[in-house]
């Protein structure tokens, strides 16, 4: 960004213009929280006198309706009464977030008068102290400057202040990202005056959730558009004389409103009780005194003293002295205690970043279990954030202001209601024209016309749409799945891609000790199954000391990996008192010792842990400095990720087959930890605590591997199989090692045992593919059989690590499409990268579910369409679904219930829409003869038939399994629109036939004659609806409402058979019987109240029953045969525009269409540049990538070089390494044959072997050589190239020699190629 002279500020927007230019009027900051998760656009407004006067007049003219619109849409008031201006002049601001939600906030200028108004907060003396400059404002780097006033506004429980320096509003967040570590270490406490000023800026340290008064909630709910429309409808009905019906609607609406108010208030109370913490804390003042205050009075910059017995943190604070053992389960969902260490003075010049310094921060809401300190030193922490700006406060804010549920179905419901309103408008015009033609009074014209609107636009629609969701939520609750956001249930039904975390989700939380693989003298020894039997030495001492375990209430606690490792040794851990540590010449936090044996000196065998370097994800290791009593020197022990430990060790101590051993373990799914050590010699104790970690972690001696097993949960494989069978895609998103992730993916079924997995790596300039070849010998034999039978599947899966994914996301957009299309394993993913991956999937059109446990998945759980948490922590509140049993078996359950709820919502919507249009048609027809449906007729249809059928409609349970065909998700697609139109045609036809048929009967008399016959007075004519047309239309329509419910009450494959819904079927049978009674044998009492003018002939009454029966048959044939079978199931699979569902194949096809084919042909390093037209699984192998041959051990893909073939060529070279030999095979594209290089006798092949035959064998082959050290003959197959020097352009390529050990399982593969059995040794250049 440029400075004051340029055109942009820190916000990336224009602000330095002349007042005479057009840009100046609206120039300035466009965003707050720029670049952060809660970034919002911001616009300034100031009140306009002229606009305000005009708007006030409109409010009166519309009888307050305009003010009601302002209540629903506050931004409308801003547009109509305010004018745009620069932010420095604004009295109101409009903010828009990424979801297009708008917030209106009033800008306040706080002065000394504001302080006087809040005088109750401080006493008079303190008020006088701050009278001259009552406020302070941030000045950067933790400093504050005095101010007489401050301009602020509040939005979503965050406060923003006007910063003149950058000409924009900034969030008041606390201390942190612009301070260096030295700033915190130098803090000595605040004086009282400074504390008060900071409290005025930052506010109270409380996460307050307001529990609104009943009347306030009632008022807000009553002004909901649904209830406003209900009030309008009831008013019209009362005026029109529908007293019973209107009274019934009032009663139901009142009960509904009361239940809503009660539920809202209960939720507010539950959230308040969950987040409310009351703690008394000790604060260190600038004069050295210690003051006890309430936690709510803390401000950023205060120094709090952590008591030895622990406490619950009420703020975010950076530890500056002493250690703390903290339980962060409320935020992470993991109950493993975490050791927090003070900020390191050695890094005092580094910028303090909350994410990077998390191991030094005590987060709000976490529980400090114990403190550790030296001598009489206090355990101190500097407050960095308070209130809603803390980690806990941000979580509560996400609950109070959730992202809106953006779902196509809900958008379409609003559009459809708009269409119904348009239909009602047409009916309104028809009614007005007809009644004006008849010269009816204006009151009658207006009331009857408005009545049509209340019929065509069903006020019960919002409530009816929740029926399926409510029952699904109850069923999920019975299965121990709790839903925080009921609307998400419908969305979960559209899920077609599920992302799973690994540890604790797919696999068990705990690990099992498997063994130790020691290394000595540059060679691996045999694996040791029991650590307890090992001799005392560096390897055993690493296992007993290199951990962060602690004793809490005499129980050993810490990371599960450390616990398993330590318990396997059989040693014990003690945390001695001060008087017991003189033997170590210092206070040692932890002492470990072996079990006492006869003749051993227990005291001399103890080991003290002098200094600990805690585990950090950035360096992927932890280390300790220890002192043995019988040894004069200190030792340094380290453990961590093998790849990291390798770089710290002396080469001569690392076995040559390091990578081969590592891959052999990780492919089996083992968790591998590498260990190393060195003797520090005669270093004085004072120097030990000044040594830097990077100075210690050099020239280490490699000790070996620790192996741990991470078992799958019992039902993981079964669930993944069921999802795969249903055509749903499963993806693993984990922070673990990529090879371990691949192994677990194969074991659980995300990747088939014989399916190819390729590892993708990327930097900003290029992408590479690498074949993992991690199939076992048994898998190869299985694949061989499949190839012999004709293998139908060429599925490829891609695996990528988090760092490479970030590079692909930022620099390789075409590669990103490929990853999203075929990626199955995303390893070493940080929480941020997980969230970005979910967003990328969503951007491509997938409906994504995320299943995880703990705060590491919190962002991804919130970002996914369907977030499923397996933890009960506060962080889990970010996910719509929480399962308390810790198993992924809830995933198919949620999807099944989501599909059932979505199909129910579709059916209910179609039913309510058809009900409204059916009743609308009935009224239009009766208007033609000057009558309408009677009060009790409306009451019976709406309050009994409609209500009971709608409520029981959603009780049908979800289908027992998930089918491949996804449910409908679009209301405005061809199928639902066609269904509604055709049903409406059937309904209209039946009513018209009845209407016309009754007029043809010999007993028929028109309405005027009926009124004369009934001796109805002129006064009562408007409320007398009896006539033959009314009887005929009503008699047929009451059956139509039942038939429509039956037609739309879908069963398999998303819901069970409707016959299993006993309540619904009983309701249908009851109303069918009662309707037959109403039509055929109405009593005088019923006929009088229902205003039925019953025909004298029983035959005609039977005809009406016959018309209704034909209607039923037509409706069922239309919905179940024409719509469901022909259109939805058959035609929808082949004709895309017919579909109302989102198929996974459609999404993937759309991604392929968006991919640039030129990118795949131009890129030099690409698996998708085949030499021939090959099956996808072979074309994507790296052997087909064209790149210069520099070193076969450094690359999988090559082109033939002049030294290789004796002349230049561009033919691709396929590196082949199998159990009978290895070599480079030339692919002759023109002849479509594969020939071995002439200098490779082991790979000579008959000339009649076609390339297609070779292709079939490729999946059976091992990967090309990739080892860099000479391997021992008994454990590796390759030797280092003779020369590692990089040749010049004029030099020959280096000669490469490989030595291969013969395999005993070669005959089957060799026979497929037609080659002889392998020789004991094969050597070639």
Give the residue numbers marked as catalytic.
Answer: 501
In the chain, what is the greatest distance between 2 CA atoms, to the nearest angstrom? 123
DSSP percent split of the chain into helix, strand, coil, nearest 5: 45, 20, 35
Residue 1206: is it exposed, middle or buried by C-beta count within 10 angstroms (0-12/13-18/19+)?
A: exposed
d(CA 453, CA 419) in angstroms, rounded, equals: 12
First CA to last CA distance, the chain:
58
Are residues 46 and 89 in contact, defined by beta-carbon separation less than 8 angstroms? yes
Within 10 Å of residue 1320's Cβ, how many Cβ atoms? 7
Q: What angle do CA 1022, 1025, 1027 make, to 5 degrees?
A: 135
d(CA 209, CA 267) in angstroms, rounded, equals: 11
Within 10 Å of residue 982's Cβ, how many Cβ atoms? 16
Within 10 Å of residue 1039's Cβ, how many Cβ atoms? 24
Edge-to-edge strand order for the sheet containing 280-284?
290-294, 280-284, 303-305, 380-385, 316-321, 361-362
Tokens (6 digits) for 667: 């492919």
Distances 1039 to 439, 593, 991, 1074 between C-alpha atoms, Å? 35, 85, 11, 10
Nearest alpha-carbon partner for 1198 in 1209, 1188, 1208: 1188
Are residues 700 and 638 in contact, defined by beta-carbon separation less than 8 angstroms? yes
**Across-strand partners of 144?**
138
d(CA 41, CA 1282) in angstroms, rounded, equals: 62
Q: SS3 of 374, please?
A: coil
Tokens (6 digits) for 20: 């005479």
Tokens (6 digits) for 777: 């010998």
Tokens (6 digits) for 1254: 């070779």
Q: SS3 of 209, please?
A: coil
Distances 42 to 34, 115, 325 between C-alpha atoms, Å? 11, 28, 43
DSSP line for 907-960: HHHHHHHHHHHHHHHHHHHHHHTT----HHHHIIIIIIIIHHHHHHHTTPPBPS
Strands, E, within 696-817: which ranges? 701-709, 729-733, 756-762, 767-771, 796-801
Q: Sign of the C-alpha dihedral, residues 1086, 1090, 1091, 1094?
A: negative
Tokens (6 digits) for 928: 């033609």
Nearest alpha-carbon partner for 1083 in 1094, 1072, 1073: 1094
Instruction: Please give the backbone phi and psi of residue 1121, each rounded to the nearest 5 degrees, phi first.
Output: -100, -55
d(CA 366, CA 379) in angstroms, rounded, equals: 16
Tokens (6 digits) for 449: 């016309």
The one-character DSSP state at 1141 is: B
Nearest alpha-carbon partner for 969 in 1058, 892, 909, 1019: 909
d(CA 758, CA 769) in angstroms, rounded, equals: 6
Tokens 């602690």 found at? 550
Q: Sign of the C-alpha dihedral, residues 1239, 1243, 1247, 1251?
A: negative
Tokens (6 digits) for 1238: 């002439």
Distances 425 to 422, 431, 439, 718, 1140 between C-alpha atoms, Å? 5, 10, 21, 55, 28
């Amino acid at each position: 960004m440029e400075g004051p002279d340029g055109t942009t500020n820190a916000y990336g927007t224009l602000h330095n213009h002349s007042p005479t230019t057009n840009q100046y009027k609206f120039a300035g900051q466009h965003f707050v929280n720029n670049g952060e998760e809660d970034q919002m656009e911001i616009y300034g407004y100031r009140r306009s006198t002229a606009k305000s006067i005009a708007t006030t007049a409109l409010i009166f003219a519309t009888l307050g309706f305009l003010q009601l619109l302002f209540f629903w849409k506050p931004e409308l008031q801003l547009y109509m009464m305010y004018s745009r201006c620069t932010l420095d002049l604004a009295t109101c601001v409009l903010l828009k977030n990424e979801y297009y939600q708008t917030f209106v906030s009033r800008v306040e200028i706080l002065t000394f008068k504001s302080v006087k108004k809040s005088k109750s907060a401080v006493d008079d003396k303190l008020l006088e102290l701050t009278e001259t400059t009552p406020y302070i404002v941030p000045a950067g780097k933790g400093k504050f400057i005095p101010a007489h006033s401050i301009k602020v506004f509040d939005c979503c429980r965050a406060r923003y202040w006007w910063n003149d320096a950058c000409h924009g509003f900034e969030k008041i967040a606390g201390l942190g990202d612009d301070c260096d570590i030295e700033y915190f270490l130098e803090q000595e406490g605040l004086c009282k005056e400074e504390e008060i000023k900071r409290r005025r800026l930052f506010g109270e340290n409380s996460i307050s959730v307001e529990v609104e008064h009943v009347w306030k909630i009632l008022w807000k709910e009553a002004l909901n558009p649904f209830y406003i429309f209900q009030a309008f409808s009831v008013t019209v009905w009362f005026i029109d004389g529908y007293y019973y019906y209107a009274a019934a609607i009032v009663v139901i609406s009142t009960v509904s409103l009361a239940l809503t108010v009660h539920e809202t208030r209960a939720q507010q109370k539950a959230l308040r009780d969950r987040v409310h913490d009351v703690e008394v804390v000790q604060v260190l003042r600038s004069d050295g005194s210690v003051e006890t205050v309430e936690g709510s009075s803390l401000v950023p910059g205060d120094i709090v003293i952590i008591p030895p017995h622990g406490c619950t943190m009420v703020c975010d604070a950076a530890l500056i002295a002493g250690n703390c053992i903290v339980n962060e389960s409320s935020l992470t969902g993991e109950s493993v205690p975490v050791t927090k260490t003070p900020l390191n003075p050695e890094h005092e010049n580094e910028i303090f970043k909350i994410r990077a310094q998390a191991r030094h921060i005590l987060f709000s809401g976490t529980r400090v279990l114990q403190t550790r300190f030296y001598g009489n030193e206090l355990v101190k922490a500097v407050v960095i954030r308070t209130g809603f700006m803390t980690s806990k406060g941000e979580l509560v804010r996400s609950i109070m202001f959730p992202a809106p549920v953006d779902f196509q179905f809900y958008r379409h419901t609003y559009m459809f209601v708009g269409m119904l309103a348009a239909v009602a408008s047409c009916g309104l015009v028809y009614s007005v024209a007809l009644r004006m033609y008849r010269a009816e009074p204006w009151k009658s014209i207006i009331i009857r016309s408005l009545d049509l609107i209340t019929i065509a636009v069903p006020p019960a629609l919002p409530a009816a749409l929740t029926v399926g969701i409510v029952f699904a939520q109850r069923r999920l609750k019975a299965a121990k799945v709790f839903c925080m956001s009921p609307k998400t249930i419908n969305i979960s039904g559209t899920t077609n891609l599920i992302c799973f975390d690994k540890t604790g989700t797919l696999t068990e939380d705990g690990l099992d000790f498997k063994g130790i693989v020691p290394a000595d003298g540059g060679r691996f020894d045999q694996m040791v199954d029991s650590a307890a039997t090992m001799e005392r030495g560096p390897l055993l001492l690493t296992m007993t000391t290199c951990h962060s375990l602690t004793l809490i209430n005499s129980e050993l606690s810490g990371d599960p990996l450390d616990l398993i490792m330590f318990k396997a040794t059989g040693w014990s851990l003690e945390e001695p008192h001060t008087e017991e540590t003189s033997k170590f010449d210092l206070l040692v936090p932890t002492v470990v010792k072996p079990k006492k044996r006869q003749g051993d000196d227990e005291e001399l065998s103890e080991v003290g842990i002098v200094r600990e370097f805690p585990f950090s994800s950035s360096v992927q290791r932890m280390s300790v400095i220890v002192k043995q009593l019988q040894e004069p020197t200190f030792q340094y022990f380290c453990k961590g990720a093998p790849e990291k430990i390798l770089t710290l060790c002396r080469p001569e101590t690392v076995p040559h087959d390091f990578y081969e051993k590592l891959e052999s373990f990780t492919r089996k799914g083992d968790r591998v930890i590498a260990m190393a050590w060195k003797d520090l010699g005669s270093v004085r104790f004072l120097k030990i605590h000044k040594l830097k970690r990077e100075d210690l972690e050099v020239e280490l001696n490699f000790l070996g591997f620790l192996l741990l097993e991470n078992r799958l949960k019992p039902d993981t494989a079964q669930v993944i199989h069921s999802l795969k069978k249903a055509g749903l895609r499963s993806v693993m998103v984990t922070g673990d090692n990529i090879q371990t992730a691949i192994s677990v993916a194969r074991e659980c079924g995300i990747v088939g045992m014989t399916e190819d997995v390729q590892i993708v790596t990327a930097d900003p300039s290029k992408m590479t593919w690498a074949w993992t070849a991690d199939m076992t010998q048994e898998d190869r034999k299985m694949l061989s059989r499949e190839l012999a039978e004709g293998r139908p599947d060429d599925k490829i899966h891609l695996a990528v690590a988090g760092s490479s994914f970030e590079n692909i996301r930022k620099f390789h957009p075409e590669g990103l499409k490929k990853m999203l299309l075929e990626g199955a394993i995303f390893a070493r993913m940080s929480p941020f990268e997980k969230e970005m991956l979910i967003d990328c999937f969503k951007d491509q059109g997938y409906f994504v579910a995320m299943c995880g446990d703990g705060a590491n998945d919190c962002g991804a759980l919130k970002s996914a369409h369907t977030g499923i948490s397996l933890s009960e922590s506060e962080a889990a509140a970010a996910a719509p679904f929480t399962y308390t049993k810790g198993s992924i078996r809830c995933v198919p359950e949620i999807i099944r219930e989501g599909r059932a709820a979505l199909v129910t919502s579709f059916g209910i919507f179609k039913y309510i829409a058809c009900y409204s249009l059916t009743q609308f048609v009935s009224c239009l027809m009766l208007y033609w003869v000057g009558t309408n449906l009677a009060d009790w007729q409306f009451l019976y249809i709406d309050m009994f038939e409609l209500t009971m059928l709608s409520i029981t409609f959603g009780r049908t349970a979800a289908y027992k399994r998930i089918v491949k065909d996804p449910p409908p998700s679009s209301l405005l697609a061809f199928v639902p629109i066609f269904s509604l139109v055709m049903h409406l045609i059937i309904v209209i036809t039946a009513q018209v036939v009845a209407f016309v048929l009754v007029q043809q009967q010999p007993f028929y008399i028109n309405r005027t004659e009926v009124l004369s016959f009934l001796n109805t007075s002129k006064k009562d004519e408007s409320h007398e609806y009896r006539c033959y047309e009314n009887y005929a239309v009503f008699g047929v329509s009451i059956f139509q409402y039942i038939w429509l419910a039956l037609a739309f009450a879908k069963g398999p494959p998303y819901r069970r058979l409707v016959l299993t819904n006993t309540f619904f079927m009983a309701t249908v049978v009851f109303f069918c019987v009662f309707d037959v009674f109403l039509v055929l044998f109405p009593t005088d009492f019923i006929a009088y109240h229902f205003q039925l003018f019953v025909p004298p002939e029983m035959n005609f009454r039977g005809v009406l029953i016959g018309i209704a029966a034909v209607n039923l048959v037509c409706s069922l044939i239309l919905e179940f045969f024409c719509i469901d079978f022909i259109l939805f199931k058959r035609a929808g699979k082949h004709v895309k525009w017919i579909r109302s569902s989102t198929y996974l194949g459609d999404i993937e096809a759309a991604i392929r269409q968006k991919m640039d084919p030129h990118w795949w042909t131009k890129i030099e390093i690409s698996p998708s540049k085949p030499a021939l037209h090959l099956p996808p699984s072979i074309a994507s192998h790296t052997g087909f990538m064209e790149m210069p041959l520099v070193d076969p051990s450094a690359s999988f893909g090559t082109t033939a070089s002049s030294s290789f073939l004796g002349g230049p060529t561009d033919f691709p070279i396929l590196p082949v390494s199998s159990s009978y030999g290895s070599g480079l095979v030339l692919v002759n594209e023109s002849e479509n044959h594969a020939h071995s290089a002439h200098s490779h006798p082991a790979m000579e092949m008959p000339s009649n072997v076609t390339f297609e035959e070779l292709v079939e064998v490729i999946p059976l082959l091992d990967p090309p050589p990739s080892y860099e050290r000479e391997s021992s003959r008994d454990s590796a197959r390759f030797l280092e190239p003779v020369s590692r020097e990089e040749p010049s352009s004029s030099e020959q390529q280096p000669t490469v020699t490989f030595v291969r050990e013969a395999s005993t399982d070669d005959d089957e593969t060799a026979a497929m190629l037609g080659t002889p059995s392998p020789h004991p040794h094969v050597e070639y250049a």
